[in-house]
Amino acid sequence: MGNISVIVENSDLKDDDAEDMVVMETKGGSDSLENSGTYKVDDQLTQEHGHLVAQILETQKELVNNDNVDVMPKKTNIAWDTSLKRDVVAKEIDKLRNTIQTLTRATNPLGKLLDYFQEDIEIMQKELLDWQNQYQQVNEQLKIEKM
């Protein structure tokens, strides 16, 4: 490609034209058909269709010949695979949601029990002390009766 001039609006400096130039270079110094932007297209395809359509068809043929696989089915398989993966993920999320709900239903009563657990322990400790005191009293009475 050659030099491309860029016109800058509202520019007061017109002295330095070299700064207004954009130079585009192609990489790889060879002037092959692919690098120069022209494609080898069959004359028959060009006569049947327009030049652009002929280039597209030629490119598709090259892709199919190089890969030995058609391009379009890959796209549909990929779309189908992603929809399958999406369905699997949705099912796993539903299963996880149901498991969490079941777990919450089971732990909710346990949580309510834990709220009263401290009070119950205090009451049970008092009752234990009462029974221990009663045991000691009965033991003393038995010792007195045995004597």
Residue 130 has pLDDT above 90, yes or no: yes
Q: Where is pLDDT greater, at 113 or 133? A: 133
pLDDT digits (tens, 9 = 90+) for 18-72: 555 555 665 554 444 444 444 455 666 566 667 777 788 788 877 776 655 554 5
Query: How far is 87 from 38, CA to CA, in rounded Å?
Result: 46
pTM over 0.85: no
Least confident window among 40-44, 60-64, 82-86, 121-125: 40-44
Confidence of residue 15 (pLDDT cuts 50, 70, 90): low
Predicted local distance difference test score (pLDDT) of residue 132 = 97
Query: How far out from the chain centre does Cα 83 lie?
Result: 14
Residue 57 CB coordination number (10 Å): 15
CA distance 2 to 21: 10
Is the pLDDT at 75 greater than 70, yes or no? no
The arithmetic mean of pLDDT across residues 88-92, rounded, is 92
pLDDT at 108 over 60: yes
Band (pLDDT 50/70/90 cuts) for residue 2 is low
Q: Do 46 and 54 meet the contact criterion of CB atoms below 8 Å apart?
A: yes
Task: Residue 57: name the closest of 75, 44, 74 by CA.
Answer: 44
pLDDT of residue 26: 58
Q: Which two tokens stand for residue 69?
A: 């696989």
User: What is the pLDDT, as a whole number, of residue 101?
Assistant: 94
Q: Is the pLDDT of residue 141 over 90?
A: yes
